[in-house]
C-alpha cells in the first residue's frame, strides 16, 4: 500500500470537477500518476481521493487538424513524441516529450501532468513556451483558456484552483517557416532530470525568435527577446545578444545536479547549439 485514499474513475469532466470542488483541495487529479504516486509514496502528499480522468474519452485524444493541434490531458508522452505530425509541426515538443523519464514512464506520464506538476525542470515546459501553447482548463463554474506562461507560479506551484483540471493543451498553427528544437543537459545518458533544458522556435521568414529555459529559476522562463532577429547575422553575435538577455533573466541555484555557475556557463553553449539547429535548417536538409 502506498497510502490510504479513495479512488474514483470519472466518466466526465463535470463529474471530476464536482468531486474536486467537494473535496476542497483534498482530492487530486490522477492521469499518468508518475509524479503523483511517487509523491504519495515518498514525499508526504496524502490526498483523500484520487480522481482518475483516464475514462473521459475526449481527454485521451490527440488531434492535429488545422489550424490547431489539441492534446488531451490523458495522452501519454510517448504517443505525442511518436506522432509524425507533432514531430513535423512542433518538433521541440516531440523532442522534449521523448526526453522525459524512461520509455515505461512515458507510456503513462502525460503532457498535462508534466506541466501541472510545475517542476522548474519540466522538459516539456520550454517547448510549450516557445510554441505559444495554451492550456484549456475546466472548473466547477466553467472553463478558461490560459497561456502556458501563466500556469507556472513557482516551484511545484501552478495557477489552477482546487476544483480545476487541465483538459487539453492547444498548440496554434505556425507559419510554414517556423522551426523549433529542444535540447537538454543531463548528468547521464538515458533518463535523468535536466541540469538545464532549453527550447527555441524561429520563423525563418520573419525572424521571430523565441527561447525558453528550464531548471534555471523557480519556473521555466520565456526570454523577452526583441524580435525579429537577423538570421543572416554571425552566430557569435546572436549568441552574445541572447546570452545577455538570458543571464539577466535566470536565477539558477546550486543543487545536486549542478552548480549555479555551471548552469550559467551552459547557457551560451546551449544557445549556440540551438540557434545553429534553427538557422541551419533553412531551406530544408
Partner 1 sequence: MAKLHDIAVTVNGELETLSVPAGMTLLELLRDRLYLTGTKEGCGAGECGACTVILGDRPVNACLILAAETDGKEVRTVEGEASAASLSVLQQSFIDAGAIQCGFCTPGMIMSARALLARNPNPSDEEIKEAVAGNLCRCTGYEAIINAVRMAAKREAVTRQ
Triad 243, 122, 193: Cα angle to 5°: 90
Cβ nearer to partner 1, comparing 59 with 239: 59
Write each residue from 108 to 127 as x if it is in contact with partner 1 (CB under 8 A), else as -, in one continuous string: x-------------------
Binding to partner 1 by residue 155, rule CB under 8 A? no
Within 38-57, which residues bind partner 1 (CB under 8 A)?
38, 41-42, 50, 52, 54
d(CA 281, CA 285): 6
- Which residue reads 463535470 in cell numbers? 14
Helix (H) or strand (E) holding 201: strand 196-203
CB of 244 to partner 1, least distance (A): 37
Triad 21, 25, 29: Cα angle to 5°: 80
Q: DSSP assignment of 5-40, as one string? A: -EEEE-SSHHHHHHHHHHTTTSEEEESS-TTHHHHH
Binding to partner 1 by residue 78, rule CB under 8 A? yes
d(CA 149, CA 166): 14
Beta bridge partners of 210: 201
CB of 45 to partner 1, least distance (A): 13
Within 193-252, which residues bind partner 1 (CB under 8 A)?
none
Considering only 10, 19, 34, 75, the residue that binds partner 1 (CB under 8 A) is 34
CB of 49 to partner 1, least distance (A): 9
Binding to partner 1 by residue 140, rule CB under 8 A? no
d(CA 103, CA 275): 28
Segment interacting with partner 1, rule: CB under 8 A, options 29-37, 56-64, 114-122, 138-146: 29-37
Binding to partner 1 by residue 102, rule CB under 8 A? yes
Binding to partner 1 by residue 101, rule CB under 8 A? yes
Cβ nearer to partner 1, comparing 51 with 137: 51
Q: Hey, what's the cell of 81?
A: 513524441
Binding residues for partner 1, rule CB under 8 A, total: 28
Provide the pairing of β-strand 209-214 with 196-203: antiparallel
Binding to partner 1 by residue 1, rule CB under 8 A? yes
Amino acid at each position: 500500500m502506498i497510502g490510504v485514499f479513495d479512488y474514483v474513475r470519472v466518466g466526465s469532466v463535470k463529474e471530476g470537477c464536482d468531486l474536486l470542488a467537494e473535496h476542497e483541495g483534498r482530492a487530486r487529479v490522477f492521469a499518468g500518476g508518475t509524479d503523483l504516486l511517487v509523491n504519495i509514496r515518498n514525499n508526504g502528499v496524502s490526498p483523500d481521493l484520487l480522481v482518475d480522468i483516464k475514462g473521459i474519452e475526449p481527454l485521451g485524444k490527440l488531434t492535429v487538424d488545422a489550424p490547431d493541434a489539441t492534446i488531451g490531458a490523458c495522452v501519454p508522452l510517448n504517443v505525442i513524441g511518436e506522432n509524425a505530425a507533432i514531430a513535423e509541426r512542433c518538433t521541440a515538443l516531440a523532442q522534449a516529450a521523448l526526453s522525459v523519464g524512461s520509455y515505461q514512464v512515458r507510456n503513462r506520464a502525460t503532457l498535462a501532468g508534466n506541466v501541472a506538476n510545475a517542476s522548474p525542470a519540466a522538459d516539456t515546459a520550454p517547448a510549450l513556451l516557445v510554441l505559444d501553447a495554451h492550456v484549456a482548463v475546466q472548473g466547477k463554474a466553467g472553463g478558461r483558456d490560459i497561456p502556458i506562461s501563466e500556469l507556472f507560479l513557482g516551484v511545484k506551484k501552478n495557477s489552477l484552483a482546487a476544483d480545476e483540471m487541465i483538459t487539453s493543451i492547444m498548440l496554434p498553427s505556425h507559419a510554414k517557416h517556423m522551426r523549433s528544437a529542444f535540447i537538454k543537459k543531463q548528468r547521464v545518458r538515458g533518463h535523468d532530470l535536466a541540469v538545464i533544458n532549453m527550447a527555441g522556435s524561429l520563423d525563418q521568414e520573419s525572424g521571430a525568435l523565441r527561447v525558453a529555459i528550464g531548471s534555471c529559476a523557480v519556473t521555466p522562463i520565456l526570454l523577452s527577446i526583441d524580435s525579429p532577429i537577423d538570421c543572416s547575422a554571425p552566430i557569435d553575435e546572436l549568441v552574445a545578444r541572447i546570452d545577455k538577455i538570458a543571464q539577466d533573466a535566470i536565477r539558477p541555484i546550486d543543487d545536486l545536479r549542478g552548480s549555479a555557475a555551471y548552469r550559467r556557463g551552459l547557457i551560451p553553449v546551449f544557445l549556440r547549439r540551438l540557434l545553429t539547429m534553427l538557422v541551419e535548417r533553412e531551406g530544408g536538409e
